[in-house]
Chains A and B, each alone.
Chain A
Amino acid sequence: MYRYDSVDQAIVDQRVAEFRDQTERYLRGELSEDAFRPLRLLNGLYYQRYAPMLRIAVPYGVVSAGQVRTLAHVARIYDRGVGHVTTRQNLQLNHPRVEDVPDILAELARVEMHAIQTSGNCVRNVTTDPMAGVAPDEIADPRPYCELIRQWATLHPEFLHLPRKFKIAVSGAVHDRATVRVHDVGLRIVENEVGERGFEVWAGGGLGRLPILSQRVRAFLPEAELLTYLEALLRVYNREGRRDNKHKARIKVLVKARGIEDFREAVEREYRQGRDTRLRLDPARIEAVHQAFAPPAYADEAVDDDSIPLEAPKAFSEGQRRRWRYWLERNVSAHRVRGYRAVYIALKGVERPPGDVTADELERVADWAERYSFGEVRTTYQQNLVLPDVRRRDLPALFEELESAGLAEPTIGLLTDPICCPGFDYCSLANAHSIPVARALQERFADLDHVYDLGDLRLNISGCMNACGHHHTAQIGLLGVEKQGRSWYQIQIGGADGDAPALGKVLGPAVPAEDVVPAVERVVEHYLAQRREGESFRSTFQRIGLGSFRDALAEHA
């Protein structure tokens, strides 16, 4: 993992001092609400529906066991003992007191963490593949580049007041697990004809009110030019992005209005003209950051493990054995090193708001990370956790511990693994509840055999058109809308993230809350009735089309 050097630590420490001063001036009445607002936002502090919320950065979703313990500690001491994993791989505290935030940030700074730029109109936390560094299909590890971008973007004096927020994702693998096409800028690591490493640069994607996939700006950007090019692109956006209407201020509106050719030309011109060569990355600098993410000391003898059958623990009941088999299938992921696996910990279930994790659980996760995964944990944009480096032979023991802690939900990628925004329970912008809908679906689809039979099926929930729950890129997306002062839900189907991303299509008129679960059931039943042998929901949808689902739903109306 990357460790702070003296520059990193100085900046974070001085940032804490700055925010302490600003908070004190605000509490003394020297700074008005309006003057304090942009200052607190640049430090991740929101005022939500009922309480403040602090969004702590988890850069590119990588966090050490020690940092996880600190997160547990601050959640327990300064909040109600619960944290919430977000779709930008961050961790939110939903009820801190404003006057405590400088102390929280100081505690975080001691373990090389911060909340800088987790909100506001600036470059946000860079996200990546949760399998970074361990994925078998990786071209190069994206984490070093994420870290370089993190540093460059942190307190960048020119880009702290962009027209709107700016989200960057980096993927280093053949398969995109970082949703690069729905980001303001998406970078994919590629190699050119002569084997040099660089990036394919995409821009102008996003969800929200104007869901749109990004377009390609450049087929190959040499890695040394990563920051010089981003600086040119950000400058074009800073100068030309709309500021008259915040709903039209994201870069996707600029790219769409100018057209990709014209936008590309503007960026390239700025890049040629304005490059500051001091930002060009020296190979030794790149190599030094790669070194920070060097693989852990995998056991040589683990290569032989793969041939040994994995046994469920002897004491398991038949039901537990079934969960164990499902867990191996859904929550255990391939690893580039023989004898190792990456293990997902689902933060989902009937009793758990999607993405929530308690302080006690965080501490156990830290213990498991130390005992089974070289002390490292990942957060995922699907609001789950990953232990990236588990030895295969340890899987039974780890499963038993996860099971006893209620953290072995074997449902990764299934209907009961929703991405879900906070919705009406916390968010001031919400039209509808999201968490109770997730709960109702968990209850209805509690039968594991049934959700297994459905296979890969992403269902996501957003409480309003801002789409924080990524409902557009789910096979089944639920969107809260307001109708005559009441919450209704629009259902969209056919969306997808990953290599062939697609935006879902509206299935029909919105339904009231009590009809959401029955409507999802009918969509699912129609899929089961129509699918061919081994066909996924997505493939079935592509074959039979939206109309077929519409007709099926209308029959029941």
Chain B
Amino acid sequence: MLVRMTDRGIVVDAASVDAASPGRSVDADTPPEDVAAAGLPSAEPLVIRFASAGDGRGFTLARLLRTRWSYTGALRASGAIQVDQLFFLRRCGFDEFELPAQVDAETVRASLLRFQAAYQPVVNDPAVLRDWSSGGPE
């Protein structure tokens, strides 16, 4: 299943991922410098493959590509990711997610929309965000 964040909202495509554009693919533990040096794609998605759901390097990689290298194309998480991580992956800059076919679409939506507030300015921040750089109310 391929889940995409689009202008029209969350699009869940039950078709197998092979049918979608495969894009360029890197492992989650690749240093962002190396990914950037090899050239960032402009049309196809950049796919970050997680060998394990607990590999936090993929989260840093996504955030840095978005912020330090200003990557604006599609960024897809694939591999061992879990549906309960979607909100946090999205926060780090991912906007496409490959998930096993049996995952329930409602669970996907619930996970992506789980929190309406956050403390950290990162990439895709929810509407209510803690403001650290002023003394005023949120």
Give me the interface of A with B, judged by CB distance under 8 Å. 5-7, 10-11, 14-15, 17-18, 21-22, 25, 35, 38-39, 121, 151-152, 154-163, 227, 235, 238-239, 243, 273-274, 276-285, 287-288
Which chain A residues border B92 with CB–CB below 8 Å? 157-158
Question: Measured between C-beta atoms, what is the minimum distance from A167 to chain B in Å?
Answer: 17
Which chain A residues border B122 with CB–CB below 8 Å? 157-158
* CB nearest to A154 among chain B residues: B119
Contact among A7, A158, A243, A281 for B117, CB-based, below 8 A: A7
Which chain A residues border B54 with CB–CB below 8 Å? 38, 121, 161
- Whether A7 and B59, one on each chain, are in contact in the complex, defined by CB atoms closer than 8 angstroms, is no
Query: Known contacts A5-B138, A163-B56, A284-B135: does B88 contact A157 (CB below 8 Å)?
Result: yes
* B24 contacts chain A at the CB level, 8 A cutoff: no
* B64 contacts chain A at the CB level, 8 A cutoff: yes
- Whether A39 and B132, one on each chain, are in contact in the complex, defined by CB atoms closer than 8 angstroms, is no
- Whether B82 and A278, one on each chain, are in contact in the complex, defined by CB atoms closer than 8 angstroms, is no
Query: Known contacts A11-B115, A11-B119: does B132 contact A227 (CB below 8 Å)?
Result: yes
Query: Known contacts A38-B54, A281-B132: does B120 contact A7 (CB below 8 Å)?
Result: no
Secondary structure of the B contact surface, majority rule = loop
A–B pairs, 11, beta carbons within 8 Å: A10-B116, A11-B115, A14-B117, A21-B110, A25-B107, A38-B82, A157-B89, A158-B59, A158-B63, A243-B57, A279-B133
- Whether B55 and A278, one on each chain, are in contact in the complex, defined by CB atoms closer than 8 angstroms, is no
Give me the interface of B with A, judged by CB distance under 8 Å. 31, 53-57, 59-60, 63-64, 67-68, 82, 84, 87-89, 91-92, 107, 110, 114-122, 128, 130-138
- Whether A239 and B57, one on each chain, are in contact in the complex, defined by CB atoms closer than 8 angstroms, is yes
Bound: A278/B84 CA distance, A: 27
Secondary structure of the A contact surface, majority rule = helix
Bound: A157/B54 CA distance, A: 12
* CB nearest to B61 among chain A residues: A239
Question: Measured between C-beta atoms, what is the minimum distance from B42 to chain A in Å?
Answer: 24
Bound: A243/B56 CA distance, A: 10
- Whether B118 and A278, one on each chain, are in contact in the complex, defined by CB atoms closer than 8 angstroms, is no
Bound: A267/B103 CA distance, A: 40
* CB nearest to B28 among chain A residues: A161
Which chain B residues border A239 with CB–CB below 8 Å? 31, 57, 60
- Whether B132 and A279, one on each chain, are in contact in the complex, defined by CB atoms closer than 8 angstroms, is yes
Which chain B residues border A25 with CB–CB below 8 Å? 107
Which chain A residues border B117 with CB–CB below 8 Å? 6-7, 10-11, 14
Question: Measured between C-beta atoms, what is the minimum distance from A25 to chain B in Å?
Answer: 8
* CB nearest to B135 among chain A residues: A284
Contact among A14, A39, A161, A287 for B135, CB-based, below 8 A: A287
- Whether A278 and B119, one on each chain, are in contact in the complex, defined by CB atoms closer than 8 angstroms, is no
